[in-house]
Structure 1
Amino acid sequence: MTTTTPYTARPIAPRALGELRTTDDAGRPTAPFTDTEGGAPLRCCLRRSEPGERIALVSYAPLRRWAAETGAAPGAYDEVGPVFIHAGPCEGPAGDVLPFTGAHRTVRSYSRRGHILGGRLVQEPDALGQALTEALDDPAVALVHVRAVEYGCFLYEVRRGYEAGRG
C-alpha cells in the first residue's frame, strides 16, 4: 500500500549505498544473499524485494549520515539499526508516493541539532501523510524518520524541499 503526500520519501542516498555494500555502519563487512522468499523492505528503492533478488541486511545510521551532511551533533540520539538494501546498484524509487504504509508506523521528528523533538504512532495507513504534514509544519523540525512499529526499524526519511532523484 502507498500514500500520496506533498512530501517525498527519501531512500538511502547512492553514495551511502555504495559504502554500505562494502562495510555497514557498525563496521561489519556486508554479506549479500539471494532472497528466496521476497517481501523485504528495501531502503534503496523503497519497495519490497522479489524472490531471487540479491540483497543484504546491513546496519545503517541514518541520523549520523544526515549529521555528517549538515554539521548537526545528534549525540546519544545517533542510532544504528538493520535495513535491507539491494546487493548491487538499483534504479531507486519508481515514484513519489509514500511506501510501506500498510501497517502501523511511527513518525519521529528531529531538530536541526539532530535531537528527537517528538514522535507519533500512526495506526491508520491513510493517516501517514497527515502525520508528516503536521510534523513538518513545525519550524523546529528539520527532518522526520518513518519507522516500523514492530521492530523500530528505520524505513525512510522525509525532509522539506526534497525531490525524488535529488540528494
Structure 2
Amino acid sequence: MTTTTTETVTDFDARPIDPAVLAELRLADDAGRAPEAQHHAEGGAPLRCCLRRAEPGADLLLLSYAPLRRWAAETGADPGPYEELGPVFVHARAEDCPGAEPGYPVAMHRGDRVLRAYDRDGRILRGVPVQPDAELHREVLCALFSDPEVALVHVRAVEFGCFFHEVRRPVRAVRVGR
C-alpha cells in the first residue's frame, strides 16, 4: 500500500495592523507624533485596523505607519533603506473597530493597486500593478508566492503609494491519502 501526500492552498493571510500595535500607534505613531483626529462625515476611508471602509460619521485617526519596520521586528529582518513610513487611517477607538473579516478584503480595493513582493530581508523583489479585481489579485498573489524568495507582499495604492495591508504566505493544508 502506498500513501500519497497532497498540499493545497486554503487562503492568503491578509493582515490588518495588529491590535497591540494599534494601541501604541493611537498614542504616538511610527514617526513619533500624536495621530491626527478626524471625523469622516461621508465615510469611505480605507481602514487598516479592520480592512474595511469607514462608515459615515466615523471618528478616525490619521497616523504614520512603518509596516516593514513592524514586520522586521517580528522576523529579525533588516529592510534598511526599503523601510517606508506613510499615512494610514484607523478607528479612533479600539472598541469601534469590528475587526477584519476572514478572506481577502475586496472592499478595500476600488482603485488600481500594486502588489509589492519583499524577500526575507525586507528588500523589494518586484511590484505588479493590478486593477480592482479580486480574482486578478488572487492570481498575482499565487504567482508571487510561487517564488520561494517572496516572504511578504504589500498591497499599495498606485496613485499615492499608500500601504493598504500586508499579505503573508497562504495557509497550507496537508492531506494524507492512499
Same fold (TM over 0.5): yes
Question: In structure 2, how many angstroms separate the alpha carbons of the residues matched to 1:71 and 1:14?
Answer: 20
Query: What is the CA-CA distance between 1:32 and the residue it aligns to?
Result: 1.9
Q: Does 1:144 align with 2:153?
A: yes
Give identity over the alignment, percent.
55
Question: In structure 2, how many angstroms separate the alpha carbons of the residues matched to 1:159 and 1:75?
Answer: 20
Question: In structure 1, how many angstroms separate the alpha carbons of the residues matched to 2:98 and 2:55?
Answer: 14
Q: Does 1:37 align with 2:42?
A: yes
Pair 1:14–1:33, CA change in 2 (3 A) = same
**Partner SS, residue 160 of structure 1:** strand
Query: What is the CA-CA distance between 1:161 and the residue it aligns to?
Result: 4.7
Query: What is the CA-CA distance between 1:124 and the residue it aligns to?
Result: 5.0
Deviations 1:94-117 (A, max 9, x none): 232333233211000000001001
Q: Which residue, 100, 120, 143 being the options, matches 1:134?
A: 143
Question: In structure 2, how many angstroms separate the alpha carbons of the residues matched to 1:162 and 1:102?
Answer: 26
CA contact (8 A) 2:52 2:105 kept: no
Structure whose alpha-carbon radius of gyration is higher: 2
Question: In structure 1, how many angstroms separate the alpha carbons of the residues matched to 2:31 and 2:109?
Answer: 28
Unaligned runs of 5+ in 2: 1-9, 173-178
Correspondence for 1:118: 126
Question: In structure 2, how many angstroms separate the alpha carbons of the residues matched to 1:94 and 1:73?
Answer: 30
Correspondence for 1:101: 109
Correspondence for 1:80: 85
Code of the residue aligned with 2:121 in structure 1: it is R
Number of matched pairs: 159
Question: In structure 2, how many angstroms separate the alpha carbons of the residues matched to 1:135 and 1:84?
Answer: 27
Unaligned runs of 5+ in 1: none
Q: Which runs of 4+ in 1 moved over 3 A?
A: none
Code of the residue aligned with 1:156 in structure 2: it is H
Q: Does 1:92 align with 2:99?
A: yes
| Greater share of strand | 2
TM-score, normalization: structure 2? 0.84
Question: In structure 1, how many angstroms separate the alpha carbons of the residues matched to 2:171 and 2:85?
Answer: 23
Cα-Cα RMSD: 1.6
Q: Does 1:57 align with 2:77?
A: no
The farther-off stretch of 84-93 and 28-37 is 28-37
Question: In structure 1, how many angstroms separate the alpha carbons of the residues matched to 2:104 and 2:79?
Answer: 28
Correspondence for 1:22: 27
CA contact (8 A) 2:151 2:168 kept: yes
